[in-house]
């Protein structure tokens, strides 16, 4: 047998396709099992709580969070809280109630209009961004107070795409100490929500902060979640913006995503303290589990 006979046939590598979302596909069963165990570990074993409280907005993120918490703790130990403002859509309220009913969660409704408008009456010139931030922070006041009332740990609902885009209110949406969705891109949230049985009407509706009638996340971004997630996926794996453009991603989309990612980096960190010693908290003072 000659050396030529031992040569393996050449196999052409599959051309890179910027439209291919395969790298973002999940193993739903494995992912759900992991997140359920994560919630049990963080809520029960590490913090000593038996119950959780989730702000139910009627959107897919909070719905998926509620489903995961119910699997981890039992539905009777997960409290859903609707916190509508006067401009909140009826669909949002109905979809939140749909989730609570499907899971058998105890649910309450706390209307935040009076609290929000009480402050904003002192700031009548506040623009939409400021008003939205006041609503988000008021909801966190409610959620944490309900946590104290119910002896239930607040569980966060923010996904990875929102976090990387800085599309959240600092010290509001990001405040709960445990978040099962924080490492899931939005397109992965949709995958997992369908897998666990979140109603399709919730999974398929356009994502929206529900602060202004007709507002959508993707309209604010100027790019769809599907396209943004693919760019983010490769950026976080070390591809340079130039390389992404070279392999076929539109330069305008790469520039938009990079701009969002870079300009909101500060929002993904704890408050910065001036270091005066070698025991500065979170800089030098770290428990072994923090490393």
Q: What is the pLDDT of residues 5-34, one digit of tens each?
A: 556 555 555 567 888 889 999 999 999 999
When pLDDT is cut at 50, 70 and 90, the band that residue 211 belongs to is low
Q: Is the pLDDT reported for residue 2 higher than 70?
A: no
Q: Which of 13-17, 38-42, 280-284 has the lowest mean pLDDT?
A: 13-17
Asked whether the predicted pLDDT for residue 102 surpasses 90, the reply is yes
Q: State yes or no: pLDDT of 57 exceeds 60.
A: yes
Give me the mean pLDDT over the 53-74 stretch.
98
Q: DSSP letters of the chain?
A: --HHHHPPPP-PPPPP-TT--GGG---HHHHHHHHHHHHIIIIIIIT--S-EEEE--SSHHHHHHHHHHHHHH-GGGEEEEE---TT--HHHHHHHHHHHHHHT--EEE---HHHHHHHHTT-TT--HHHHHHHHHHHHHHHHHHHHHHHT-EEB----HHHHHHT-S-TTTTT-SSB-TTTTS-HHHHHHHHHHHT--HHHHHSPP---SSTT--HHHHHTS-HHHHHHHHHHHTTT--HHHHHHTT--HHHHHHHHHHHHHTGGGGSPPPPPP-STT-BTTTB--GGG-
Contact 108, 101 (CB under 8 A): no
121-134: pLDDT as tens digits? 999 999 999 999 99
Q: What is the pLDDT of residues 174-203, one digit of tens each?
A: 999 999 999 999 999 999 999 999 999 999
User: Would you state the pLDDT for residue 141?
Assistant: 98
126-160 pLDDT, tens per residue? 999 999 999 999 999 999 999 999 999 999 999 99
Tell me what pLDDT residue 182 has. Answer: 96
User: What pLDDT is attached to residue 199?
Assistant: 97
**DSSP code string of 57-78:** -SSHHHHHHHHHHHHHH-GGGE
Count other C-beta atoms under 10 Å from residue 183's C-beta. 12
User: Residue 96 pLDDT more than 90?
Assistant: yes
Q: What pLDDT does residue 160 have?
A: 96
* Residue 109, pLDDT score: 98
The pLDDT mean for the chain works out to 91
Between residues 19 and 223, the one the model is more confident about: 223
Domain ranges, ordered by start, for the chain: 22-269
**Topology, domain 22-269:** Rossmann fold (3.40.50)
Q: How far apart are CA 21 and CA 57, in angstroms?
A: 28
pLDDT digits (tens, 9 = 90+) for 238-263: 999 999 999 999 999 999 999 999 99
- Looking at the whole model, is its pTM more than 0.95? no
């Amino acid at each position: 047998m000659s050396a030529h006979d031992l040569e393996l046939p050449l196999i052409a590598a599959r051309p890179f396709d910027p439209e291919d979302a395969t790298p973002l596909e999940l193993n739903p069963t494995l992912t759900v099992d992991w997140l359920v165990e994560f919630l049990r570990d963080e809520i029960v074993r590490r913090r000593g709580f038996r119950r959780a409280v989730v702000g139910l907005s009627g959107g897919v993120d909070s719905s998926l969070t509620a489903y995961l918490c119910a699997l981890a703790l039992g539905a009777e130990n997960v409290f859903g809280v609707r916190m509508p403002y006067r401009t909140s859509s009826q669909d949002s309220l109905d979809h939140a109630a749909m989730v609570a009913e499907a899971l058998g969660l105890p649910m309450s409704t706390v209307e935040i209009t009076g609290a929000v408008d009480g402050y904003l009456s002192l700031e009548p010139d506040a623009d939409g961004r400021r008003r939205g931030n006041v609503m988000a922070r008021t909801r966190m006041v409610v959620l944490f107070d309900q946590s104290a009332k119910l002896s239930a740990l607040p569980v966060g609902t923010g996904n990875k795409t929102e976090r990387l885009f800085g599309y959240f209110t600092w010290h509001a949406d990001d405040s709960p100490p445990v978040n099962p969705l924080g490492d899931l891109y939005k397109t992965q949230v949709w995958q997992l929500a369908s897998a666990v049985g979140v109603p399709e009407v919730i999974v398929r509706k356009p994502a929206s902060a529900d602060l202004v009638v007709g507002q959508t996340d993707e309209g604010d971004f100027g790019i769809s979640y599907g396209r943004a997630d693919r760019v983010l996926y490769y950026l976080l794996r070390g591809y340079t913006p130039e390389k992404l453009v070279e392999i076929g991603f539109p330069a305008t989309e790469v520039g938009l995503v990079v701009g969002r990612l870079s300009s909101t980096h500060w929002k993904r960190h704890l408050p910065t303290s001036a270091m005066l010693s070698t025991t500065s908290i979170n800089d030098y003072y770290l428990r072994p589990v923090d490393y």
